[in-house]
């Protein structure tokens, strides 16, 4: 998956931009995300329904995946069934 | 990844929130995005290969940078202070361009270069009126160059530094938290649009959703009154501006400045006296010293508010000295100090500053300056202390090499400036038959003081540094030459005194 690719959720409104990705399957709300919005909505899986937040970055434990949420939704993100977590960035003082 | 994403996200999350205030006009994120999309159409219709801005800061700068990004055409703001001949040469290097701003001047000096020229008002109006042809517009994917900036070219012809979408997004996404500003927050932007700090200020404030208040022509009085009128919370200034603001306050200028909680500065060396005074004048503000270059998409190291106050309060000279430091590298870049043979130097030893990271382009239109491992040689000389604080000694080209010994001009200048009668100082290399190079200094005497004896100055340097640093030649000048960003023009001093 190329950095800059925009993926849409089949289960909710979530859209993400890929910052970094490996070969695994990127999912939202329990269903695979795709570049085109699927015509048929997928059900929201209960285990992946915590929601996404605009502007947050989501990462896996190994730092192989990083997704930027550019549109929030009710589903939550995972790769091959393993939930991604919000990346905590230490806030820097504004310098410009 | 396209930098237009920053504005798209802000407009998606808060379309009706005020994004920009300029000359009394207010623009929402929704307004700016719509105008940027209109500008995309204008740029496509013009067939331009660049979008240039020849103007002071205004909404046109924001609309142009994002419009150009959507169209996949580099945005190239130009320095309107350049003489006609120099400016015409730069315009020639980016023809055919859509040039926004000083129509009369472009037609007069570059009328034969096939540019499309629009005044600020025409561009802004047309961008607002032009509705995208259809909703399913294909915007540029952002794999290329977002911004081209001509370096100031104090030593040679200006180089065209290029910043890719990936560099700028790497910087913003790595250092700014989306929508992290409160709705009341406002950033006062006074840096000209052709300077990297002027561009990064726009990008980071839009992504943080911090209202931008533009002050195109700087004056300390106007700056202070805008702080009050717009309840400014954040500001970036270059050292000369801060010096003038503090001066104006000393002379009685006043305004309600209590909202101002963050003042960042950079772009040149901050005199110790000015930062001391500023810390007193703005007791509620956190000060941040930012170090960065055009080629690094702005900030790569910073000295934060806590370090400033700690240095001011400390009696330990080592900690007090940090007020003159650039702080520590930001977490998203790595930095090394290297010697002449490329070896990494230990703390305390001065060499050239190298930096690596996503935001570091190190690229010019002609060629990349990155080494095979992606490190960018900044041509800035400096050292890191034991605690990792970075100190700048000057440009690598300014280092004085006397009999094989490297000496930084900054070190000598700092000592001279401790003399009560010296207001400003510049050290530079002079040719020496015996040593290859030796130290020359130019100093400015304080208005209410008598020029000190040359022997006294030599003794001061000898006592504080080594005898090799003692200036061979001392000249007294009425003032030192600076560029408009507050950078001391050492080469000019050298030329004046040689001629």
Stretch B186-214: mean pLDDT: 96
Residues above pLDDT 90, as percent of chain B: 78
Contact A96 B197 (CB under 8 A): yes
Q: Using the predicted structure, report yes or no on whether residue B154 has a pLDDT greater than 60.
A: no
Structure tokens at B406: 């490297």
The CA distance from A71 to B159, in Å, is: 39
Interface residues from chain B to A (CB-CB < 8 Å) = 1-2, 5, 8-9, 12-13, 141-143, 166, 173-180, 187, 197, 200-201, 204, 208, 210, 234, 236, 262, 264, 266, 286, 288, 290, 292, 298-299, 302, 304-305, 330-331
The predicted-structure confidence for B260-319, as pLDDT tens digits, reads as follows 999 999 987 788 889 999 999 999 999 999 999 999 999 999 999 999 999 999 999 889
Which residues form the domain of A26? Answer: 6-83
Domain ranges for chain B: 4-311, 399-499
Q: Residues B392-412: what's their mean pLDDT? A: 81
CA–CA dist B387, B23 (Å, integer) = 45
Side-chain-facing half-sphere of B71: CA atoms under 13 Å: 29
- Taking CB atoms and an 8 Å limit, are A95 and B166 in contact across chains? no
**pLDDT given for residue B135 in this prediction:** 65
- Whether the per-residue pLDDT at B332 is higher than 70: the answer is yes
Fold type of domain B399-499: GMP Synthetase; Chain A, domain 3 (3.30.300)
How many Å lie between the alpha carbon of B175 and the closest alpha carbon of chain A? Answer: 6
Q: Any CB–CB contact under 8 A between A1 and chain B? A: no
A43, part of any domain:
yes
Outline where B251-397 has alpha helix (H): 272-281, 305-313, 317-320
- Name the minimum distance, in Å, from the CA of B429 to any CA of chain A: 33
Closest chain A residue to the Cα of B286, Cα to Cα: A93
Residue A90 within a domain: no
pLDDT score at B350: 86
> With 80 as the cut, is the pLDDT of residue B64 above it?
yes
Of B468 and B73, the one with more pLDDT: B73
What's residue B118's pLDDT?
A: 98
Contact A93 B236 (CB under 8 A): no
Q: Same CATH fold, B399-499 and B4-311?
A: no
Neighbours of B352 (CB within 10 A): 20
Q: Which residues of B touch A55 (CB under 8 A)?
A: 9, 13, 177-179
Report the pLDDT value the prediction gives residue B484, as an integer from 0 to 100: 73
Q: What is the DSSP string of B114-177?
A: --EEE-HHHHHHHHHH---S-TT-------SEEEEEE---SSSSPPEEEEEHHHHHHHHHHH--
pLDDT for B155: 55
- Has residue A62 been placed in a domain? yes
Mean pLDDT across the stretch A12-36? 96
- How many structural domains are present in chain A? 1
Question: Which of B93-108 are b and which e, b meaning 16 or more Cβ less than 10 Å from the residue's Cβ?
Answer: bbbebbbbbbeebbee
The confidence score (pLDDT) of residue B184 equals 96
pLDDT at residue A40 tops 90: no
Cross-chain Cβ contact A54/B174 below 8 Å: no
ipTM attached to this prediction: 0.92
pLDDT at position B316: 93
Please report which residue ranges of B299-450 form alpha helices under DSSP H: 305-313, 317-320, 409-416
Residue A1 included in any domain: no
Contacts of B292 in chain A (CB under 8 A): 95
Cross-chain residue pair B204–A91, CB shorter than 8 Å: no
Separation between Cα atoms, residue B8 and residue B32, nearest integer Å: 10
> In chain B, what residues touch A92 (CB-CB under 8 Å)?
175, 302, 304, 330-331
**Does the beta-carbon distance from A95 to B142 stay under 8 Å?**
no
Q: Which residue has the tokens 């290097």?
A: B93
| Cβ distance of B179 and A3 shorter than 8 Å | no
Answer whether B9 sits within 8 Å of A70, measured CB to CB: yes
Count of alpha carbons within 13 angstroms of residue B478, beta-carbon side: 0
% of chain B at pLDDT higher than 70: 98
Is B175 within 8 Å of A55 when comparing Cβ atoms? Answer: no
pLDDT at B395: 76
Q: How confident is the model at residue B134 (pLDDT cuts 50, 70, 90)?
A: low
Residue B355 has pLDDT above 60, yes or no: yes
Best CATH choice for the domain B4-311 from the list 3.40.50.12780, 2.60.120.620, 3.40.50.720, 3.30.2270.10: 3.40.50.12780
Give the pLDDT of residue B491: 83
Among positive and negative, which fits the CA dihedral B206, B150, B357, B331?
A: negative
DSSP state of B396: G
pLDDT reading at B16 higher than 60: yes
B203 or B324, which is more confident?
B203
| Residues B434-491: tens digit of each pLDDT | 888 899 999 999 999 999 999 999 999 999 888 889 999 999 999 999 887 777 888 8
At residue B398, the pLDDT reads 83
The pLDDT, as a whole number, for residue B153 is: 60
Q: How far apart are CA B115 and CA B352, in angstroms?
A: 40
**Within-domain flag for A95:** no
**Which two three-digit tokens encode residue B350?**
């001065």
Categorize the per-residue pLDDT at B156 as very low, low, confident or very high, splitting at 50, 70 and 90: low
B433 pLDDT exceeds 90? no
Nearest one of B446, B26, B358, B34 to B170, comparing CA atoms: B358
Please indicate, yes or no, if residue A57 is contained in any of the structural domains.
yes
Least confident of A87-91, B132-136, B142-146, B451-455: B132-136
Interface contact flag, B173 A19, Cβ < 8 Å: yes
Given a cut of 70, whether residue B136 has pLDDT beyond it is no
| Residues of chain B with C-beta less than 8 angstroms from the C-beta of A4 | 1-2, 141-143
Could you report the per-residue pLDDT of B372-383, keeping only the tens digit for each? 999 999 999 899
In three state form, how does the secondary structure of A57-93 look?
EEECCCCCCEEEEEECCCCCEEECCEECEECCCCCCC
């Amino acid at each position: 998956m190329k950095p800059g690719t925009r993926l849409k959720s089949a289960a909710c409104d979530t859209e993400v931009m890929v910052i970094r990705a490996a070969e695994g399957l990127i999912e939202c709300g329990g269903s695979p995300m795709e570049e085109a919005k699927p015509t048929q909505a997928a059900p929201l899986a209960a285990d992946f329904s915590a929601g996404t937040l605009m502007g947050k970055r989501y990462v896996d434990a190994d730092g192989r995946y990083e997704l930027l949420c550019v549109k929030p939704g009710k589903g939550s993100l995972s790769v091959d069934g393993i939930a991604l977590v919000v990346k905590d960035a230490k806030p820097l003082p504004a310098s410009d | 990844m396209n930098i237009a994403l920053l504005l798209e996200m802000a407009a998606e999350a808060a379309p009706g929130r005020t994004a920009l205030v300029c000359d009394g006009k207010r623009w929402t994120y929704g307004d700016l995005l719509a105008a940027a999309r209109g500008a995309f159409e204008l740029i496509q219709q013009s067939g331009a290969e660049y979008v240039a801005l020849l103007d002071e800061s205004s909404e046109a700068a924001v609309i142009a940078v994002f419009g150009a990004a959507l169209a996949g055409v580099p945005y190239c703001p130009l320095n309107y202070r350049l003489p006609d001949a120099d400016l015409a040469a730069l315009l020639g290097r980016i023809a055919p361009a859509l040039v926004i701003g000083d129509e009369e001047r472009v037609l007069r000096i570059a009328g034969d270069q096939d540019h499309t020229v629009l005044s600020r008002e025409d561009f802004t109006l047309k961008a607002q009126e032009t509705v995208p042809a259809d909703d399913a517009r294909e915007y540029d994917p952002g794999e290329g160059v977002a911004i081209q900036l001509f370096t100031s070219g104090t030593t040679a012809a200006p180089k065209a530094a290029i910043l890719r979408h990936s560099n700028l997004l790497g910087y913003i996404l790595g250092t700014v938290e989306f929508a992290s500003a409160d709705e009341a927050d406002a950033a006062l932007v006074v840096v000209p649009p052709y300077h990297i700090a002027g561009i990064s200020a726009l990008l980071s404030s839009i992504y943080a959703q911090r209202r931008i208040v533009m002050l195109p022509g700087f004056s300390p009085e106007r700056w202070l009154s805008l702080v009050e009128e717009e309840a400014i919370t954040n500001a970036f200034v270059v050292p000369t501006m801060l010096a003038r603001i503090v001066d104006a306050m000393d002379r009685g200028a006043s305004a309600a400045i209590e909202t101002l909680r963050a003042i960042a500065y950079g772009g040149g060396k901050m005199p110790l006296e000015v930062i001391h005074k500023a810390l007193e004048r703005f007791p509620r503000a956190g000060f941040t010293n930012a170090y960065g270059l055009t080629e690094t998409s702005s900030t790569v190291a910073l000295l934060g508010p806590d370090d400033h106050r700690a240095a001011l309060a400390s009696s330990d000279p080592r900690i007090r000295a940090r007020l003159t430091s650039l702080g520590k590298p930001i977490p998203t870049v790595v930095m090394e100090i290297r010697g002449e043979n490329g070896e990494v130097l230990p703390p305390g030893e001065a060499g050239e500053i190298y930096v690596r990271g996503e935001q570091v382009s190190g690229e010019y239109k002609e060629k990349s300056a990155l080494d095979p491992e992606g490190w960018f040689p900044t041509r800035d000389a400096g050292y890191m202390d034991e605690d990792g604080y970075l100190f700048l000694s000057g440009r690598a080209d300014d280092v004085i090499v006397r009999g094989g010994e490297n000496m930084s001009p900054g070190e000598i200048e700092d000592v001279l400036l401790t003399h009560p009668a010296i207001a400003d100082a510049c050290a530079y290399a002079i040719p020496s038959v015996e040593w290859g190079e030796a130290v020359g200094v130019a100093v400015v005497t304080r208005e209410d003081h008598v020029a000190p004896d040359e022997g006294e100055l030599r003794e001061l340097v000898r006592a504080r540094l080594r005898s090799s640093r003692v200036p061979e030649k001392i000249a007294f000048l009425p003032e030192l030459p600076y560029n408009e960003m507050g950078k001391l023009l050492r080469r000019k001093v050298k030329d004046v005194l040689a001629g």
